[in-house]
Chains A and B, each alone.
Chain A
Amino acid sequence: MRTVAGSNCTIRKEVPMSKRATGGRKITRRQLLKGAVATAAAVAGSRVSGVPTVWAQNIKDIKLVQAGGSYSAIIDIGRQATKDLGFQVEMQTGAHDALLNRFVTQPNSVDIADMEYFFLYQLVPRGVLHSIDLKKYKWWDKVVPIFTKGEYPDGRKVSRQGTLPYKVQYVDGPDSNRFAKGPTQWATAIPTVYNADTLGIRPDLVKRPIEHWHELLNPEFKGRSAILDVPSIGIMDAAMAIESRGDIKYGDKGNMTKEEIDKTIKILIGAKKSGQFRAFWTTFDESVNLMAAGEVVIQSMWSPAVTAVRARGIPCYYVPLNEGYRAWASCIAPMRHLTGLKLDAAYEYLNWYQSGWQGGFIAKQGYYSSVPETARKFMTEDEWGFWYDGKDAKSDIKDPYGTLMEKAGQKRDGGAFWERMGKVACWNTLMDENRYMVRKWNEFVSA
């Protein structure tokens, strides 16, 4: 539930004009429209060159509403898309649970669903999403293979624990409500932003190296540790810690059995009763404040939250741990109620989305793009080196609004893209035993 993005804490500034490069215009239009090139010539010089007149006039009235978390449905992305595409893209944000409820109960109020991958377990069988014809999507072969094949580039398999995006990436056919076993022409959604999460620590107060997840439950930090109070994610962080301590060997941390849930909650209740936790946090800001105020010295955190603590001049370290990371990934998909021109516009938008501007924008907030090579065009060599290659920053690193994120000479915690994404232990998910798990989690919180 990333309810508040890091940028919300900062004063919004316009992105420099130089950054607003012409990315959108470089997009080749859908093959369907290629025949209309002659018509396009007639409107040469118009801002949306390459688009036939009829299309250009009709699309003005189209508005796509994208609903997602505030860390991905960013208003600046909507504005840039509107500018580049000639139709309107409106961003609406909400918390995870509000979004999931909205997609299911009012699917017609949204055009583009922007969600975490595990939502697909709930949405695809209910048939609220339009399956994406990959022939109309131009970047699929450039998408990071974690998504398209469930593998790393060297052929190693990515951890299947939890919702590995690949497991819910394809359906059997157009508007099918069943997930396919392997790659097909029909995608459930297009991957957008993702990251690898781990523990954040206050190195000045912890005063020693931290290498394992079990330190979260170490009595040394009694009263000074915290976890995330989103049941489905919090329990996985707890499982990482418990497994690392050797108490339980899980079959699949992302899909626990009732016995595993019972054992996990029992250990958590024991830790809570002994005063291990200072707080359970739910929003981005809470996690930043707990850490910055020194209430907590070790807790599960999100990457931009760590940066936000550091931006206040307080040391905070996003520790790479031996057991690996808990990863998450977001995606976007058109809703099934879209038809005709509006559906065409949705495909246009998907193709624009991965053409680089968006990828460059979110990279500067610490998230990864699923098509890094287009994002790279919208980043300086130094920014790319820092965020993706794990190199020392040659100059100060700023977020998209110009706020200082890291000083020159710093290196990204955890290092380069594949060093971080290559060590995923499990993925954010919803378990089969969800209902049971939430009951048990409520027991833990009220214990």
Chain B
Amino acid sequence: MRAPQAASSRFTSAPYVLVAPLALVLVVFFGIPLVLVVVVSFFDLDKFDIIPTFVLTNYSELLSSPLTYTLYAKTIKYALIVWAITLVIGFTVSYFLVFHVRSILWQMGLFLLCTVPFWTSNVIRMISWIPLLGRHGLLNQSLIALGLADHPLEFLLFSDFSVVIAYVHLFSLFMIVPIFNSMARIERAVIEAAVDGGASRFRVITDIVIPLSRTGIALGSIFVIALVMGDFFVVKVMSGGQSASVVAAMSNEIAILQYPPAAANAVCLLTIVTLMVAVIMRVVDVRRELSG
């Protein structure tokens, strides 16, 4: 910002002015609603009314119910599986784009190709798996026609398998983009020096590429984990409604106007996701890496 000379005496206020619009938006649309959710999570309710008081029953009921733990175990299981798969995909795709595609034009072209699936909506990308994986779907018909299966494989659809496939398909890009970005910033000279010094390709990856792209890996992991933890729609559709998630349980509660328990559930989920993000940030200091 090129501030006029006269304003330079008040330079200390400039950063505050610059950050004000974002801060305002965050406070109004994120801060206040979040505080309300926390407040409501301590409210009581009877058959028709939410009673503004301070009770811990919502939390004690939530934490004493085995259902909560089953749901979290299930949701975290999905998050970890999807995280591992998208990490491998994100890393290999970025590695190929950055180190094997020489021309910048091809690099950008192929990178854009990765985003093609995102030109249609989430819902369509997810639903298109159903006719492919179904009992009488394309995949099963092909397998039977090729003689590779004698009866349709039922685990392909409405199962954990199909849920994970949809997640990976939906969220891989969120891993590719940050990893690609940080890999592209790796100084080629470092790698050349390593190769000249006799390092194998494997050592170059483990000792140079992985450490130097850890910012991207951390950011991608945050995206993927937060997206999976907060989802209920993909689970619902791809498991044929046969698998639940933390958010699905919350949505069932809201459907019958049970706001306080749903709010308590939301606060717990938020805490756990925040903890997971904190662990990632602890391992990789994203801010230092980005500014450095």
Contacts and interface: CB of A to CB of B under 8 A. Distances in A.
B242 A279 contact: yes
Contact of B67 (A104, A223, A295, A443): A443
Contact of B135 (A277, A286, A294): A294
Given A293-B136, A446-B67, A438 B253 contact: yes
A439 B256 contact: no
Interface string B233-268: 000110011111000110111111110010000000
B254 A278 contact: no
Contact of B241 (A100, A282, A435, A439): A282
Interface in A114-130: 122, 125-126
A289 B67 contact: no
Contacts of B244: 442, 445-446
B8 interface: no
A125 B135 contact: no
A430 B255 CA distance: 11
A99 to B, nearest CB: 10
B125 interface: no
Contact of A446 (B48, B74, B157): B74
A441 interface: yes
Interface in A197-226: 223, 226
A125 B49 CA distance: 10
B257 A122 contact: yes
A53 interface: no
Contacts of A101: 254-255, 257
A280 interface: yes
A97 B254 contact: yes
Interface in B141-161: 154, 157-158
B210 interface: no
A229 B255 CA distance: 12
A126 B48 CA distance: 7
B240 A279 contact: yes
A435 B258 contact: yes
Given A100-B257, A294-B136, A279 B48 contact: no
Contacts of B67: 439, 442-443, 446
A423 to B, nearest CB: 29
B134 interface: yes
Contact of A272 (B135, B137, B236, B242): B242
Contact of A293 (B134, B236, B237): B134
B131 to A, nearest CB: 8
A96 interface: yes
A445 B248 contact: yes
Contact of A435 (B71, B158, B254, B256): B256
B135 A280 contact: no
A280 B242 contact: yes
Nearest to B250: A442
B115 interface: no
Interface in A212-256: 223, 226, 229, 231-232
B158 A278 contact: yes
B121 interface: no
Contacts of B251: 97
Contacts of A378: none
A93 to B, nearest CB: 16
Interface string A266-306: 00000010000111111000100110011100000000000
B130 interface: yes
B226 to A, nearest CB: 21
Interface in A290-324: 290, 293-295
Residue among A434, A438, A446 with the highest chain B CB neighbour number at 10 A: A446
Nearest to A285: B127
B5 interface: no
Given A97-B254, A439-B67, A278 B240 contact: yes
Nearest to B253: A438
Nearest to B137: A293
B249 A125 contact: no
Given A280-B241, A293-B136, A122 B254 contact: no
B291 interface: no
B65 to A, nearest CB: 7
Given A279-B240, A280-B241, A294-B135, A438 B154 contact: no
B70 interface: yes
B136 A289 contact: no
A269 B89 CA distance: 37
A8 B255 CA distance: 24
Given A278-B240, A294-B136, A442-B71, A289 B130 contact: yes
Given A438-B256, A445-B242, A446-B67, A125 B48 contact: yes
Contacts of A277: 242
Given A279-B158, A293-B136, A97 B255 contact: yes
A100 B258 CA distance: 12
Interface string A424-447: 000000101011001101110110
Contacts of B134: 293, 295
Contacts of A280: 240-242
Given A100-B257, A282-B236, A442 B158 contact: no
Nearest to A97: B255
A326 B46 CA distance: 29
Interface in B14-30: none
A409 to B, nearest CB: 29
Contacts of B157: 295
Given A100-B256, A293-B134, A294-B136, 17 more contacts: A125-B47, A125-B48, A223-B154, A229-B241, A281-B240, A282-B241, A293-B137, A294-B135, A432-B47, A438-B255, A439-B65, A439-B67, A442-B67, A442-B249, A443-B70, A446-B244, A446-B249
Those 9 A-B pairs whose CB atoms lie nearest each other, nearest first: A279-B240, A280-B241, A97-B255, A446-B244, A229-B241, A445-B244, A442-B249, A125-B48, A443-B67
14 contacts: A97-B255, A100-B255, A101-B254, A101-B257, A279-B158, A280-B242, A286-B237, A295-B135, A295-B136, A430-B256, A438-B256, A439-B67, A445-B248, A446-B71
